[in-house]
A = this chain, B = another copy of it.
Amino acid sequence: MRQRPLGDDGDPIGHLVRLLTRLPGVGEKSARRIAHHVLSAEIDFVQTLGDAIATLPERVRRCVECGNYTSFDRCAVCADPRRGGDVLCVVWRPSEVDAIERSRSFQGRYHVLHTLLDPLGGVGPAEFPLDALVTRVRDEQVREVILATPPTVEGEATSLYVAEALRAQGVSVSRIASGVPHGGDLEFTDPITLGRALEGRRTL
């Protein structure tokens, strides 16, 4: 039994429920279901799950090349000699590397920013990690940069800011398309997305 006080006030189930509701997509009801499942599940599973959560941050580091999550020095993409280094896809977070990898539509390498330009949120040009990207593009003789930051205010600002800096280096810079998602219903698509879908139309 571990000795660290958990501050559960004699109510370990309620304590766990409160912690679980701080996770994304977990409401009070799901948290209660999970807590009761933990109490009826096999003890080996429960301890392995608890340890897998508690030790995840110390078992995962950032790839020395691109900033993606990995257990080694280099992430699976950077360690793969078949992945071309002359096309770089710039993303906000490692979860977006995963999403693009699942789409199987990109064969180059990534650059993970871990932050977006957000002056109101305390990340101005001085805090934004532009230098690492610029240096990498120059040193690795990158030919094309695809900006895949999210289509939000901060993502667009980041994209514009990075594009300007890289164009000065003579590298080709593009931005992923924004439009109506596959399977989406135009009736329920927001006006900004519809506007972008029209603006980004392509000749057939």
Contact = CB atoms under 8 A, between A and B. Distances in A.
A136 interface: no
Contacts of A36: 93-95
Nearest to A114: B40
Interface stretch (A16-24, A124-132, A157-165): A16-24
A54 B57 contact: no
Interface string A1-42: 110101110111101100110111110001011111111110
User: How many monomers of this protein are in the complex?
Assistant: 2
A22 B52 CA distance: 13
Interface stretch (A43-51, A175-183, A184-192): A43-51
Given A8-B52, A24-B33, A46-B57, 11 more contacts: A16-B49, A16-B53, A20-B49, A22-B45, A23-B49, A25-B33, A36-B95, A39-B60, A40-B93, A50-B50, A53-B53
A13 B46 contact: no
Nearest to A50: B54
A52 B49 CA distance: 11
Main secondary structure of the interface of A (DSSP, over half): helix
A19 B39 contact: no
A59 interface: yes
Contacts of A69: 13, 39
Interface footprint category on A: 35 or more
A106 interface: no
A71 interface: yes
A45 B21 CA distance: 12
A163 B200 CA distance: 69
A52 B69 CA distance: 25
A86 interface: no
Contacts of A32: 95, 98
B52 A19 contact: yes
Counting chain B CB atoms within 10 Å of each CB, the highest count among A51, A56, A72 belongs to: A56
